[in-house]
Each structure stands twice: as structure tokens, then as C-alpha cells.
A and B are shown apart, each in its own frame.
Chain A
Amino acid sequence: MKIKSLKEQRFQIILTVLMVVLMLLVVYPVWFSIINSLENAQEISRSGYSLFFPHQLSFDSWKAVLNNPDIVNAFLITLSRTIIVTILQTLFTAMFAYGFSRNNLVGKRFYTTLGFISMYLNGGVIAYFILFNAFHIYNTYWVYIIPCLFGGFYNVIIFNANFKAIPDSLYESAKIDGASEYKIFFSIVIPLSKPVISALGIFTAVGTWNDYTQTLYYTKSSNLQTLSYYTLSITKSSESAAKLGENMNTAATSILTTMAKSASNYKTIELSCMVLSAIPLIVLYPFAQKFFEKGVMVGSVKG
């Protein structure tokens, strides 16, 4: 017995060491970018990137980034878009799923067909390009909002599984008391479904915040750039890319002029932009984390 527990102990120690190494590997890239965005730019040019702590703490690149009107604009566009889309998309998707989950819904087959077609077939970027042009939302702020008001049928399936788990007797008694479907949805179903609503809401928010393809595909004005897109264009035109002979684009040129005035350089600017676009997620992550698992689990087990 004793030998076994000794063996077990040894195994646990090895396992712990392995897991710690893996966690460091995962966290290190984030740490690396934070410390280097706070590093003095000359120090980086002289002795390369810092590996563990900044040699000379400097907020120059952060000042340059936060004072750049383009970046502030991109930040505001990303933030407003994320808030609007998250709230409306979660609400509309949950409402659709509530209707879909009711047994007394007439014409359910129509919605099922619609949903499954939307899950397995898509028209592709070209079709959207033509459609958005026809709707005159191409290259406007609306292209970030209008096509994103519904979260897709996959989310409906997840909501549906949750709503079905609410006891029928609750619906029945509310119905007999004369409550309308809206009243039932807002005062019974939503309060009882907070975990799944939070989980899917967080997924939507993260997806919207991180998205850059909507900007890449369907906009061309520089004042519609999102933070992700802005950061991407800096990355694409940063030193390595410049060395490779790729053309600098407008976003990068504007930030390079800002840079010339401050004591920062492209390396620290690039890193500050990256950290800026990742920071809301890093800060909120510990609080939101407990919902993720629940959200995915519900979909996989019941859906």
C-alpha cells in the first residue's frame, strides 16, 4: 500500500511540473507582449526584446497609442459595436429560441427547415458583398450591426435545450394566470436561464470584439476600422513585413508619424496596440471564465 502511494506521489509531482510548464508556455506570449510594450524603445533596439521584465520601464508607446485619434476611433467603433451586437443578438436569438422551444408553436417545421439550411449552406463572401451593396450598408457602420443581429441556428439549439429544461408546469400556471408570451419570456424564462444567456453573450462579445473580417471584406474607409483590423494592419506593415518589401498601408503610415514624434518605435507601438486589443479580454477573463464551460457543456450534452 505504502509503495503504491509513494508511486502515486511521484506521479503527481511529475504531472504538476508538466502542467506548470505548459501553463507558462501558454501565458508567456501574453506576458512577453505586455512587458515589451512597456519597454523603452531604445533599449529594445540596443539589446533586443526583454524576456522576463522590462529593463527600462517606459509609457511612451502607450501614450502615443492612446493619443492617436485613429486608434481612439477604432477603439470606440469596436466597443460600441461589441455592446450593441452582444445585447441585440443575444436578445433576438433567445426570443427566437423561446418561440422555437414551445410545443404549441404552429409552423415549427418551417423554422426547422430554415435553420438547418442556414447551418449547412452558405452563399459565401461574394453573395454578402453584392447584398450589402444592394442594401447600401457596404462601407457604413451598419455593416457591423445589421447582419449580426441573429446569432445563428447553432445558438438556437443551445438555448432551446435550456428552455426545454424549464418545467412545463411553470408555463402552464403562468398561462392560466393570463400572462402573455412576452411576459413569460421576460419574467420567467430569462431569469431562469441566466447561465446560458451569460455564456452565449460572452461568446458573442468575444467574437465581435476580435473580428476583423467584417472590416476587411465589407468596408474600405479608414474611419470604419476596428481595433483588431488596425492592429492587423500595423502587424502586416511592421518591421518584418517592411523588410520583406510589403507596402505600408495608410494606417501604418499615420501611426509611424505619431511614433516619430515620441520616443517609442514601431516595435513597442505594435505591441501596445496588440495589448490594447487583448486587454479587455484579459481583464474580464477571470470573471467570465466560469460561464464558458457551462455554455459549451449545455450545447454538447443536451444539444
Chain B
Amino acid sequence: MKSKKKNYKLGYDLGTQLRLHSMMLPGTISLLLFSIVPLFGLLLAFKYYKVTDGIIGVFTSRWYGFQNFKVIFGNLDFSRMLVNTLGLNLIGNIINIFCAIFFALLINEISNVRFKGVVQTVTYMPHFISWVVFGGIVMIILSSDGVINQILLKLNLISDPIIFIAKPAFFWAIAIIANLLKELGWSTILYTAAIAGVDQELYEAANLDGASRLQKMLHITIPCIKSTIMIMIIFAVAGILNNNFDQIYVLQNSFNLERSEVIDTYIYKVGLQQLQFGMAAAVNIFKSALAIALLFIANKVSNKLTDSGLF
């Protein structure tokens, strides 16, 4: 106790403090410049701002009230892209979480440790390949002379090749399945860790009682990893307006726009291509506010239902 007190004193001298803060300086400057200062950009949502106004214009340009929001919510495209965003995320996340848990349970059942390692290594791999490459391959495989069309033609299921990526009707399915293939392995990583932490005595006791494999999964493993599952669900709910821009932009083209335009691609188009900064900022505010609200609601619900949450 005494020595600890002495050391605290030791670490509080000016020299030490200066050195500590100087070590944190690059990070602090970076945070201030690239995280805090850009927050003033949110003001643009309530401003009449022109590109030529420069950085000072963010503050000096004319106040515009909620005009930017009115224009956006009045836009017919807005409801369509909201539906796309929610639909892709909701269906995608449900399928992803369900498959990841199922896959993690299966990996856990592999008795050969080496083979288990190989399965994990191989299925993690696509997570590290960029969407440019993975999405490009998906499009080639789905193209008019791609593998899928070759198979369908050979089976006489279709008479003419279908250009899947140009048909809006297929877009959600393509995006969700491609994402599942790419991320399935990687998304098991947290569940596998949680499963590894389950008390082995529980399984031994269940074995003595003659529990089947399925019973052990349902009544031991799943309840034991409940808190991990809840955290993943909370993150999924909070991120429901956040599409993976990298993925959607790669797979998007002018023909499937009806089903592929999401909030993030819309912000890019309105903001950086059409240079309507006020409107892009308004969409961004709408998105961020909803995301934070959803995070708190999901966390509260999770705390109520399962006694486990993020905070």
C-alpha cells in the first residue's frame, strides 16, 4: 500500500506527465481534427450551403431551417431507399446471425482438432478479400456466360441466359447470399470463443443423463452463449441503417438501382456527385440519430429480456 502510494507520486511529476501526454499527442490531434471538427459539418443540414463557400461558409452561410429535410422526405426515392436499406439489413442480419450460430455449433462438434483448425482457417479467408474482388467474381459467375447460367442452360431450366445483376428482383438475394458466403466463417469467431468458454462439466453431467447431441446444444450451449448472441443482435439493430457501402457500390448498376439504392450510396450520390451538401448532411443526421436511438432501445430491451446487454 505504502509503496503503491509512493509510485503514484512518482508518476505524477511534470516530466512524466509531459511525456505521457506527448505520446498521446498524434492520436489526440488526429481525433480532434478528423472526428470532432467534422461534427460541425452536421450544421450543413440546416444551412443553405454552396460548394464555393469553403470551410468558413459552414458557419457563415444562411440558415435554412428544416428545408433540406423537407426536400429529402418529400422525395419519392427516399422511401424506396429506406425500404432497401432496412430490407437488406434485416433479412441479411437474421440469416447471418442464424447461420453463424449454427455453423459455430457444427464446428464445435468436429472431433478432430486439426481438421477443425483447417475449417476455420479456410472459411475465414474470404473476409480478407476485398469486395471489389469478391463482388467482381460474383458478377462474373452470375454473368450471361457465367457458371450459373451455364448450369441452368444445360439443365434446360431457362432458354436464354439471365443477366442476374441487371434484374432488380435478384439484387437482394445476390447481396445477401454473397455477404453470407464471404462473412460466414469470420462471423463464427466470437461464437466459437464463447462456446469454448462453456463449462465442460455441464456436458459431462448431461452425458450421464443420456442427453442427445441436439438437447445438449439447445439446453446447454445456446443458453451459455446467450449474452454473446444478444450483443451481436444489439449491434445488428443499431447498424440497421448502415449498409456495407463497399459491397453495395460494387454490385450496384443503373439497372438494379430500384432495389440497390441504399442510404449510404444515396449520401454519396447526392453529396459528392451532385454536390448538394445540405441534403446529404440531412440524410446523415437522420441516419445517425436513428442509429443511436436504436442502440439504446435494443440495449434496454435486451437488458429487460435476458439480463445481458452492452451497457
Residues of A bordering B, CB below 8 Å: 8, 11-12, 15-16, 18-19, 22-23, 25-27, 29-30, 32-33, 36, 48-49, 51, 92-93, 95-96, 98-100, 102-107, 111, 114-115, 117-118, 120-131, 133-134, 147, 149-150, 153, 156, 172, 175-176, 180-182, 185, 206, 209-210, 212-213, 216-217, 228-229, 231-232, 235-236, 239-241, 243-246, 267, 270-271, 274-275, 277-278, 281-282, 285-286, 289, 292-293, 296-297, 300-301
Residue of A32, A102, A150, A245 with highest tally of chain B CB at under 10 A:
A150
- A–B complex contacts, Cβ < 8 Å, 30 sampled: A16-B115, A19-B115, A19-B119, A22-B119, A23-B119, A25-B181, A27-B122, A27-B125, A33-B140, A92-B30, A95-B23, A104-B16, A111-B28, A128-B34, A129-B277, A130-B58, A156-B27, A176-B7, A181-B23, A182-B23, A217-B268, A231-B132, A243-B144, A244-B253, A246-B253, A270-B140, A275-B133, A293-B120, A296-B190, A297-B193
Q: Given known contacts A213-B245, A243-B163, is B292 in contact with A124 (CB within 8 Å)?
A: no
B55 pairs with A175, CB closer than 8 A: no
B109 at the interface (CB under 8 A from A): yes
Other A-B contacts than A99-B24, A232-B132, A296-B193, 5 sampled, CB-CB below 8 A, are A19-B106, A96-B23, A115-B31, A131-B33, A241-B253
A134 pairs with B54, CB closer than 8 A: yes
A96 pairs with B28, CB closer than 8 A: yes
B121 pairs with A29, CB closer than 8 A: no
Interface residues as binary, B1-21 with A (CB distance below 8 Å gives 1, 0 otherwise): 001000110111001110111
A217 pairs with B36, CB closer than 8 A: no
B298: which A residues are within 8 A, CB to CB?
A: none
B28: which A residues are within 8 A, CB to CB?
A: 96, 111, 114
B144: which A residues are within 8 A, CB to CB?
A: 240, 243
Residue in contact with B55 in the complex, picked from A124, A134, A213, CB distance below 8 Å: A134
Docked Cα-Cα span, A23 to B121, in Å, equals: 10
Q: How far is the CB of A219 from chain B (nearest CB, A)?
A: 11
A106 pairs with B12, CB closer than 8 A: yes
A92 pairs with B27, CB closer than 8 A: yes
Docked Cα-Cα span, A29 to B118, in Å, equals: 18
The dominant DSSP class at the A interface is: helix
A131: which B residues are within 8 A, CB to CB?
A: 33-34, 37-38, 41, 55
B243: which A residues are within 8 A, CB to CB?
A: none
Question: Which B171-201 residues have a C-beta within 8 angstroms of A?
Answer: 181, 184-185, 189-190, 193
Instruction: For the complex, count residues of B whose C-beta is within 8 A of A.
Output: 97
Residue of B32, B35, B124, B146 with highest tally of chain A CB at under 10 A:
B35
A216: which B residues are within 8 A, CB to CB?
A: 249, 268
A270: which B residues are within 8 A, CB to CB?
A: 136, 140
B79 at the interface (CB under 8 A from A): no
Residue in contact with A126 in the complex, picked from B44, B184, B288, CB distance below 8 Å: B44
A127 pairs with B41, CB closer than 8 A: yes
What 4 pairs between A and B have smallest CB-CB spacing?
Answer: A127-B41, A123-B38, A96-B27, A104-B11
B250 pairs with A235, CB closer than 8 A: yes
Q: How far is the CB of B140 from chain A (nearest CB, A)?
A: 7
Residue of A49, A51, A115, A217 with highest tally of chain B CB at under 10 A:
A49
B10 pairs with A176, CB closer than 8 A: yes
Docked Cα-Cα span, A173 to B4, in Å, equals: 12
B20 pairs with A126, CB closer than 8 A: no
A105 pairs with B136, CB closer than 8 A: no
A126 pairs with B8, CB closer than 8 A: no
A117: which B residues are within 8 A, CB to CB?
A: 35-36, 39
B267 pairs with A210, CB closer than 8 A: no
Question: Which B34-90 residues have a C-beta within 8 angstroms of A?
Answer: 34-42, 44, 54-55, 58
Q: How far is the CB of B10 from chain A (nearest CB, A)?
A: 6
Residue in contact with B163 in the complex, picked from A240, A278, A285, CB distance below 8 Å: A240
B168: which A residues are within 8 A, CB to CB?
A: none
A95 pairs with B132, CB closer than 8 A: no
Residue in contact with B26 in the complex, picked from A49, A95, A128, A301, CB distance below 8 Å: A95
Residue in contact with B133 in the complex, picked from A8, A115, A267, A278, CB distance below 8 Å: A278
Q: How far is the CB of A84 from chain B (nearest CB, A)?
A: 14
Q: Given known contacts A93-B27, A130-B58, A281-B128, is B272 in contact with A217 (CB within 8 Å)?
A: yes
A49 pairs with B147, CB closer than 8 A: yes
Residue of B54, B133, B255 with highest tally of chain A CB at under 10 A:
B133
B140: which A residues are within 8 A, CB to CB?
A: 32-33, 36, 49, 267, 270-271
B145 at the interface (CB under 8 A from A): yes
B128 pairs with A206, CB closer than 8 A: yes
Interface residues as binary, B280-291 with A (CB distance below 8 Å gives 1, 0 otherwise): 110010001000
A15 pairs with B246, CB closer than 8 A: no
A130 pairs with B137, CB closer than 8 A: no
Closest A-chain residue to B103, C-beta based?
A: A22
A285 pairs with B125, CB closer than 8 A: yes
A27: which B residues are within 8 A, CB to CB?
A: 122, 125
B36 pairs with A33, CB closer than 8 A: no
Closest B-chain residue to A229, C-beta based?
A: B132
Residue of B137, B138, B163 with highest tally of chain A CB at under 10 A:
B137
Docked Cα-Cα span, A206 to B125, in Å, equals: 12
B10: which A residues are within 8 A, CB to CB?
A: 175-176
A153: which B residues are within 8 A, CB to CB?
A: 31
